[in-house]
Structure 1
Amino acid sequence: MDEPKVSVVVPMYNDSRTIDLCLASVSTQTYPAHEIIVVDDASTDDSAVRAARHSCTLVRAERNGGPGAARNLGVRHAKGDIVFFIDADMIMYPDAIGNAVTLLSGPRGYGAVFGVPDKVPLFVEGPVGQYRILQYHYWRVSAQGEVSGGFYALGAVTRAAFDAAGWFNPALRQTEEIDHAERLSRRYPMLLTARVSGRLSDESHLIPLLRKAFRRARLRVPFYLRRGRAMQGMETGGRAAAAVLALLTMLSLPAAVGYPPVLVGTALLLAAFVAVDAGQYAFVRRERSWPFLVFFTTVHLLVNATVSGGLAVGVLTWLTSRQFRHMYERTAP
């Protein structure tokens, strides 16, 4: 039987800092890609000029449509049996495509294989960037196995599975991945594995990170309520409890200022917040110093409290907006 042909699809928007590294990593795979398709999502920097210097097909979107629309456009041009998605702010390790092909060709019949970014970032990061990379890595590496959520920043999907699931919904700018993976997982098993890996450049500033966490949490509410259960893999009961505990911890602080004995309750809430995901903090301590662990815990507390706030606002929006309630029921063109 002929070896599967792999089409690599790279959605790109203002990624001039990383696109050369990304495409170089794709071009040096031990299992060569049949084609590399870069979708320029109406970038305003010189990303497209840089991409055009590489051996790839450059497709330009007429207007910025977001990751889902860019991936759809790339798939429309793809001719491979497998579509390997990688975001332009990532690199893949040399065996990433080969390992993905091996897993997708195995007896389990996986429809998709999603990778785990390394704990080592693509660039030297500041403290917030280090927090994000370590948290991102640990949550995924600890969830390895069959999953129902998708991570299309580094993942391969068989064309048959993609066609069965349908296109990404371009109306979903922040949650298009969970929507598509949910449809795909109804038809095919999906695997999350560190055998497919690379390095990531992620958000390195606190306010944009919190803004993104709030927005994504709010937009997931209709998905969760419609689905009726958490996604298999990273979304554990302990992590759901951590979000609630983080919000309660933050809300207790103003009371503790006026009445210091409340600090005992605050300390107990914080201890419970750490305990429900203790493995994560043990991992961070092994990788970094005690002072950084304190910083990591503080940022993670803020992120989780923000997530709870986003979920609360999402529930209120769900109760008052019919359009919001049904946003995941729209079909993509």
Structure 2
Amino acid sequence: MDVNDSIQPVQATVSIVIPVHNGGERFRQCLASLEQWAALAQEIIIVVDGGTDQSWQWAKASGAKVLRFPSAGGPARARNAGAQMASGDILFFMDADVTLHTDTLQQIVDIFGKQPNLAALIGSYDDAPGESNFLSQYKNLFHHYTHQLAHEEASTFWGACGAIRRSIFLEIGGFDERFRYPSVEDIELGYRLKRAGHQIQLCKTVQVKHLKRWEPLSLLKAEFFYRALPWSELIWRDRQFVNDLNLKTSSRISLILAYSILVTFAFGLLWPSVFSVTLAFTLAFLCINGSVYQFFYQQRGFLFALCVIPWHWLYFIYGGLAFAMGTVRYHWFSRMGNTAHLPTIARL
């Protein structure tokens, strides 16, 4: 027997990095899942990004390595600080309001072990969100649906459930710390990875459970100011009009139809005959998104799927408005020669 046949490949080591700011009960559930399912990790590093609750004490009591900032500077800074402390080959970034599945870490180790050229991977939320209210179920299930149908060759990174080779992370400069609040710092990192020629894979079976509770105001604020608006500027900056995830062709057509419904309905209030056009646009909107509503019907039943429709329509309305505002803002600042403004939007 050749001596090389008896040599087993060295298993990559994993460092889990979690930023937390006033994590509350959800963070305690996150820690409980780590205690139960993170045996494969070489180390767990928790970066307490300011805050006024007991998150840092809970982190200390868990046995994790803990770094504490006296005031909040954002998850980008916190993750970078955790990465500097880490010693593992792979950095696995988690949010403080998610919990592991039994096989999450094992899958990550196996995937990187089998693909030496893979720079990073991202996973998905599962189909059983932790909060039971409608908006939390809708938002997190919609995220699950979007990732499950996306291309496996990803074009972005994801900080809630994303792993990256530590050497590449440090080489590329980590997250942009000008993002001072949870925003699109992970997407921006993914764009830089792709520009540098690195491979990112969406692994749909690598899943975590999201525990966040969404309410109307918190959802709209986060979606509009912290995601859609800065992402729109990022798209223009990097010219990343990728036909995937939330930027699919069907989504772009749906945006046009959503505004067509809104405009023709407004005209219909003055000229009722226009309502027939509104109806036509509405039917087209429902048809092109039929698979979305079918998914929600299978997951939660008819009434739930029915309630999804107006929120899904609103999603395109505020998304379109954010893209228009982001486009104007980007080109205005570009004309004035200021190209370093983009992350400041996340401070709104």
- 1:228-307 map, 5 Å: 228-231=239-242, 233-234=244-245, 235-307=247-319
Give the 3-state SS of the residue equivalent to 2:174 in structure 1: coil
1:204 to 211, 214, 229: 214
Q: CA deviation at 1:313?
A: 1.1
Alignment TM-score, normalising by the size of structure 2: 0.88
Q: Quick one: which of 181, 186, 196 aligns to 2:190?
A: 181
Look at both structures and tell me which one has the larger radius of gyration over its CA atoms.
Answer: 2
TM-score, structure 1 normalization? 0.92
**CA distance in 2 between partners of 1:256 and 1:210 (Å):** 27
Q: Which of 103, 112, 121 is 2:120 aligned to?
A: 112
Question: What is the distance in 1 between the residues matched to 2:279 and 2:53?
Answer: 47
Correspondent of 1:136 among 143, 162, 170 = 143
Instruction: Name the amino acid aligned to 2:224.
Output: F
| Count, aligned residues | 329
Within 5 Å, give how 1:152-231 maps onto structure 2. 152-172=159-179, 173=181, 174-186=183-195, 187-215=197-225, 216-231=227-242
Report SS of the residue matched to 2:150.
coil
Is 2:39 the counterpart of 1:7? no
Name the SS of the counterpart of 1:317 in structure 2.
helix
RMSD: 2.1
Shift of 1:203: 4.5
Q: Equivalent residue of 1:218, what SS?
A: helix
Range with bigger deviation, 228-237 or 53-62: 228-237
- Residues 98 and 108 from structure 1, CA distance in 2 versus in 1: closer, same or farther, beyond 3 angstroms? same
> Where do 5+ consecutive residues of structure 1 fail to align?
none
- Residue aligning to 1:82: 90
Do 1:112 and 1:190's aligned partners in 2 also have CA atoms closer than 8 Å? yes
Residue 318 of structure 2 corresponds to residue 309 of structure 1: no
Residue 49 of structure 2, aligned match among 28, 38, 41:
41
Amino acid at match of 1:240: R
- Counting only pairs closer than 5 Å after superposition, residues 11-22 of structure 1 correspond to structure 2 as 11-22=19-30
Kept in 2, the 8 Å contact 1:22–1:92? The answer is yes
On the 8 A contact 1:112/1:158 being kept in 2, the answer is yes
Aligned residue for 2:23, secondary structure, equals coil
Q: Deviations over 1:96-116 (max 9, x none)?
A: 111011111213621111111
* Residue 136 of structure 1, CA deviation: 0.8
Identical columns (%): 26
- SS across alignment from 1:4: coil
CA distance in 2, matches of 1:37, 1:43: 17
Deviations 1:249-280 (A, max 9, x none): 22333222232222222222222223333321
Higher mean C-alpha deviation, range 131-140 or range 266-275: 266-275
Judging changes above 3 Å, is the alpha-carbon distance between structure 1 residues 221 and 315 closer, same or farther for their aligned structure 2 residues? same
